């Protein structure tokens, strides 16, 4: 327990806002270059890990969907808050360059490893218990490394009055998903711009969520010390319902209230945050990161006019067949766009944008009919992680099948936040969208169902071998005991037979005539005698 506490408190984190950069001094200096513990220098400069440098933002124009400038803290991220951050060298990463790039491990970040994301139903019972335990630990563990913003930079009086709140390791990620997709606050109650999202409805949707999952996965490894942990995925193709909605996994349905989770699931005690988008818009404020009630879910009892069924294998295959990553205005109206169709605003049978029905990724959110339905609050539900891991695997399939040129990702005129060179909101360290328009193998991870046939077979029987490995000592012991008993019985019979031969009155021949019956038919078995037997996934902005 002490070792775990040490890890939680002192391991450097990746996310926004690092506690060391959420001070009045850092905000007024507009600098986030914490010292690396390894050598005490800013960004680990003495060890050559990185340097504190000016942030370079792209200057390409964005599309017409957001007609403002200088009103939102997320514009030209992260310049409103910081214009100097750690720029890490080589395989180093992190807000202080104290960690390793994705796929690298070791003290010097020179050990290359590839992790495997597996089907959640191929996990052993022990692995499923571990997954749920890790999720709950992250939810219950207050982050000591970073905090969340509860006010705009203007409300913070340009940094002189910091407005931040503590949150758990899990809730930091909930807040991040809210913050990147929230409405733009134009000043005063109800004065908001809703047609803006720095991670959805445009090209950065897939790269942004890829980075989100990678950071979440990395944080869980650090929290638990389990460096072999990987996010499992839920393969929802052709599913007839919420297969993962069991108390053993993501939580079953509450028999007293179908909108809540079963009391037999640890997730039934979870409280959500940043889930009331309309309320924040009406008040013209940011989410304050306070608890807002229980996690809600009622899978299948959704608007069937909007989503007929869960996505099918045929729809996934059609989506994968689209050759263009994005098209036209690269937003929800894009036709024959792989990104728009996978995101769910393009019809998965025709490829036409602005579909009246939700498909693919968005269909899952609508189907869950609860916390998952709100774009801003959807990450409150742990199913979000399993769902987006599978969405990411489809993205990976498309990248491998079509091997797109980097030029397919737009450099300019995408909705704000989505140009290839834009820094992803609200990540520190900084990531540009185009940097994640690459294969997962280059980032150090693979999906089990994308392995070759022999590897897939080995992976699919893994849980059974694991279970067998757990019981084989008992099976061996039983076999040995059975053998001992059999030998003992045989010895007893042999000893008894030898003794009884010495008693003439027990000889069979002397008693045989008393019990003999005439034999009418031989006792032979015949083989033929044998028996057989808000902005949300329900609305279009």
pTM of the model: 0.85
CB neighbour class for 511 (10 Å; exposed up to 12, middle 13-18, buried from 19):
exposed
Classify residue 222 as left (phi > 0), alpha (psi -120 to 50) or beta: alpha
**Which residue matches tokens 């640890």?**
266
pLDDT per residue, tens digit, the chain (541 aa), is 444 333 333 333 344 799 999 999 999 999 999 999 999 999 999 999 999 999 999 999 999 999 999 999 999 999 999 999 999 999 999 999 999 999 999 999 999 999 999 999 999 999 999 999 999 999 999 988 889 999 999 999 999 999 999 999 999 999 999 999 999 999 999 999 999 999 999 999 999 999 999 999 999 999 999 999 999 999 999 999 999 999 999 999 999 999 999 999 999 999 999 999 999 999 999 999 999 999 999 999 999 999 999 999 999 999 999 999 999 999 999 999 999 999 999 999 999 999 999 999 999 999 999 999 999 999 999 999 999 999 999 999 999 999 999 999 999 999 999 999 999 999 998 999 999 999 999 999 999 999 988 776 766 676 656 656 665 565 567 667 766 666 667 666 776 666 555 555 445 444 444 444 444 443 333 333 333 346 788 874 4
> pLDDT value at position 535?
77
> pLDDT value at position 141?
97
526 vs 13: CA distance, rounded Å: 74
Q: Is residue 182 within 8 Å of 280, Cβ to Cβ?
A: yes
Helix 313-321 with 383-402: angle, nearest 10 deg: 40
3-class state of residue 535 by DSSP: coil
**Which residue matches tokens 């490894």?**
221
Sign of CA dihedral 299, 300, 305, 311: positive
**Which residue matches tokens 């069937």?**
304
CB within 8 Å of 417: residues ≥ 6 apart: 62, 74, 77, 180, 197, 198, 199, 202, 204, 424, 425
> pLDDT value at position 534?
66
* DSSP letter for each residue of 449-505: GGS-HHHHHHHHTHHHHHHHHHHHHHHHHHHHHHHHHHHHHHHHHHHHHHHHTT-GG
Pairing of strands 84-88, 50-54: antiparallel
Helix 205-224 with 2-10: angle, nearest 10 deg: 140
102 vs 218: CA distance, rounded Å: 8
Q: For residue 447, which phi and psi values (nearest 5 degrees)?
A: -105, 135
Q: Which residues pair with 120 in a beta bridge?
A: none
DSSP 8-state class, residue 345: S
Q: Which residues pair with 148 in a beta bridge?
A: 165
Which domains occur in the chain, in start order? 24-301+369-450 (1.10.1280.10)
**Which residue matches tokens 């969405």?**
391
CB neighbour class for 494 (10 Å; exposed up to 12, middle 13-18, buried from 19):
exposed
Helix 383-402 with 360-368: angle, nearest 10 deg: 170
> pLDDT value at position 494?
73
């Amino acid at each position: 327990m002490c070792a775990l506490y040490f890890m939680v408190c002192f391991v450097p984190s990746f996310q926004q806002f690092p506690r060391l950069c959420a001070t009045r001094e850092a905000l007024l200096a507009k600098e986030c270059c914490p010292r690396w513990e390894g050598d005490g220098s800013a960004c680990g400069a003495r060890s050559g890990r990185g340097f504190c440098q000016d942030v370079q933002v792209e200057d390409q124009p964005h599309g017409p969907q957001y007609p403002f400038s200088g009103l939102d803290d997320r514009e030209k991220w992260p310049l409103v808050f910081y214009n100097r951050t750690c720029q890490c060298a080589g395989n180093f990463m992190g807000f202080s360059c104290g960690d390793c790039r994705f796929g690298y491990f070791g003290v010097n970040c020179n050990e290359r490893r590839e992790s495997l994301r597996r089907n959640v139903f191929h996990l052993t019972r022990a692995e499923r218990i571990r997954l749920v335990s890790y999720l709950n630990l992250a939810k219950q563990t207050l982050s000591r490394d970073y905090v969340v913003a509860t006010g705009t930079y203007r409300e913070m009086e340009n940094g002189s009055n910091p407005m931040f709140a503590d949150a758990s390791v899990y809730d930091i990620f909930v807040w991040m998903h809210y913050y990147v997709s929230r409405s733009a606050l134009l000043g005063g109650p109800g004065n908001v711009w809703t047609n803006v999202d720095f991670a959805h409805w445009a090209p950065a949707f897939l790269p942004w969520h890829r980075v989100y999952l990678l950071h979440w996965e990395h944080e869980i490894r650090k929290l638990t010390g389990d460096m072999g942990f990987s996010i499992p995925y839920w393969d929802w193709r052709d599913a007839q319902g919420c297969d993962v909605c069991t108390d053993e996994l993501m939580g079953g349905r509450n028999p007293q209230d179908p909108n809540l989770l079963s009391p037999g699931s640890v997730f039934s005690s979870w409280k959500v945050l940043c889930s009331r988008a309309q309320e924040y818009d009406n008040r013209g404020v940011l989410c304050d990161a306070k608890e807002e009630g229980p996690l809600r879910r009622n899978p299948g009892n959704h608007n069937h006019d909007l989503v007929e069924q869960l996505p099918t294998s045929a729809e996934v295959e059609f989506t994968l067949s689209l050759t263009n990553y994005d098209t036209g205005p690269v937003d929800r109206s894009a036709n024959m766009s792989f990104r728009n169709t996978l995101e769910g605003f393009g019809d998965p049978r025709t490829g036409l944008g602005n579909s009246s029905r939700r498909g693919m990724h968005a269909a899952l959110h609508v189907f869950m009919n609860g916390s998952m339905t709100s774009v801003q609050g959807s990450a409150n539900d742990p199913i979000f992680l399993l769902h987006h891991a599978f969405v990411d695997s489809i993205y990976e399939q498309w990248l491998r099948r079509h091997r797109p040129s980097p030029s397919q990702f737009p450099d300019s005129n995408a909705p704000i936040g989505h140009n290839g060179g834009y820094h992803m909101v609200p990540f520190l360290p900084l990531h540009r969208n185009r940097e994640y328009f690459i294969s997962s193998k280059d980032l150090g991870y693979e999906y089990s169902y994308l392995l070759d046939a022999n590897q897939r077979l080995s992976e699919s029987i893994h849980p059974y071998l694991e279970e067998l490995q757990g019981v084989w000592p008992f099976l061996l012991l039983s076999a040995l005991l059975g053998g001992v008993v059999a030998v003992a019985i045989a010895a007893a019979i042999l000893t008894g037979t030898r003794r009884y031969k010495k008693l003439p009155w027990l000889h069979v021949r002397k008693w045989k005539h008393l019990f003999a019956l005439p034999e009418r038919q031989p006792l032979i078995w015949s083989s033929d005698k044998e028996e057989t037997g808000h902005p949300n996934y329900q609305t279009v902005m």
